[in-house]
């Protein structure tokens, strides 16, 4: 059995997936459809990065989504489902939307509009330089939760990426003050992240409420492919369950470690990461050694299939 996974914010880089855009008509059509739906010149952002826009949340998310789907749709066209043989789809945060499109739960145009709105809401959710995030290396979520609780820290776990990498969110002041506490409790590496706000925390509640209004406008289809949702790390095939998890994703923890553990409970032996970078492949190897993992990021990676 095979799971196909899609990356989230942070995996972007200049010219990502442009080799697919240059060599495959299906990839160009994906970019064109998304650009028509969003009225954003995504390929210009990816190639030229005007005013650093590729690293601005309101453009980053739609760019990564476009790059990922351009590659996925090319694989589908070149190899077909009979070669890819997907049994599950999942993605990290933003990547969950790519997974829903790949699994035929949402069409490409609707998802594009949703992600454009999501990026804008997250970008504008909190005034700049008020909130942020930090990565804690070398400790698992239970340890971090325990330190937060015992010391009454005003931060929360945003991403449980692996047993060795946890990301926390909160106000900048609380992120700074928490570093001393974690250091006293044996944390060796505490890295403040260059992000515009405290994603996947209660500081996203207002943005999440606005996004829910947009999700309610979308027609979700019944899919034959189960999705493992970030919010509750459960295998969802029912549309109502998928929508419920998606509505709660933005302001709550990304349970990536639990999602991969859930995949371990199935007969899955192969994972294909599709999209820019190999971040998720690296995280998964820190969670488990069970899977044969392949990353498809550039045209030369196609030979891996």
| Catalytic residue annotation | 93, 200
pTM of the model: 0.96
Strand 189-192 and strand 131-137: the pairing is antiparallel
Work out the pLDDT band at 194, boundaries 50, 70, 90.
Answer: confident
* Burial of residue 23 (number of CB atoms within 10 Å: 0-12, 13-18, 19+): exposed
**DSSP β-ladder status, 235-236 and 227-228:** antiparallel
Per-residue model confidence as pLDDT tens digits over 249-287: 999 999 999 999 999 999 999 999 999 999 999 999 999
- The C-alpha atoms of residue 144 and residue 175 are separated, in whole angstroms, by 13
The pLDDT value given to residue 160:
98
Tell me the average pLDDT across 207-230: 94
> Domains in the chain, start-ordered, CATH in brackets?
2-126+201-304 (3.40.366.10), 131-192 (3.30.70.250)
What are φ and ψ of residue 135, in 5° steps?
-100, 135
Average pLDDT over residues 193-205: 92
pLDDT above 90: residue 201 = yes
Q: What is the mean pLDDT of the chain?
A: 96
pLDDT at 136 over 90: yes
Q: Is 288 exposed, middle or buried (0-12, 13-18, 19+ CB in 10 A)?
A: middle
Digit-coded pLDDT (tens) for 45-103: 999 999 999 999 999 999 999 999 999 999 999 999 888 899 999 999 999 999 999 99
Distance separating alpha carbons of residues 298 and 300, to the nearest angstrom:
5
Tell me which long-range contacts 279-282 makes (C-beta under 8 A, separation of at least 24).
Answer: 279/7, 279/10, 279/11, 279/92, 280/5, 280/7, 280/92, 280/95
């Amino acid at each position: 059995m095979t799971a196909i996974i899609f990356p989230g914010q942070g995996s972007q880089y200049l010219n990502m997936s442009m080799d697919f855009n240059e060599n495959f008509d299906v990839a160009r059509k994906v970019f064109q459809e998304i650009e028509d739906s969003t009225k954003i010149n995504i390929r210009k952002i990816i190639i030229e990065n005007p005013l650093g826009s590729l690293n601005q949340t309101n453009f980053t998310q739609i760019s990564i989504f476009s790059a990922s789907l351009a590659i996925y749709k090319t694989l589908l066209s070149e190899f077909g489902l009979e070669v890819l043989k997907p049994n599950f789809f999942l993605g990290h945060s933003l990547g969950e939307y790519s997974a829903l499109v790949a699994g035929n739960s949402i069409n490409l145009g609707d998802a594009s509009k949703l992600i454009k709105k999501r990026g804008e809401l997250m970008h504008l959710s909190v005034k700049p330089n008020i909130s942020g995030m930090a990565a804690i290396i070398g400790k698992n979520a239970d340890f971090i939760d325990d330190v937060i609780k015992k010391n009454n820290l005003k931060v929360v776990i945003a991403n449980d990426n692996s047993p060795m990498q946890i990301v926390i969110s909160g106000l900048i002041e609380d992120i700074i003050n928490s570093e001393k506490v974690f250091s006293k409790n044996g944390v060796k590496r505490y890295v403040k992240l260059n992000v515009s706000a405290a994603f996947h925390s209660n500081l996203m509640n207002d943005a999440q409420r606005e996004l829910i209004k947009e999700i309610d406008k979308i027609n979700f289809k019944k899919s034959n492919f189960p999705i493992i949702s970030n919010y509750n790390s459960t295998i969802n095939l029912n549309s109502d369950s998928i929508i419920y998890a998606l509505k709660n994703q933005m302001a709550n923890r990304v349970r990536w470690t639990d999602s991969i553990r859930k995949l371990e409970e199935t007969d899955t032996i192969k994972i294909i990461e599709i999209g820019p970078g190999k971040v998720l492949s690296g995280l998964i190897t820190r969670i488990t050694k069970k899977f044969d993992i392949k990353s498809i990021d550039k045209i030369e990676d196609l030979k891996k299939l």
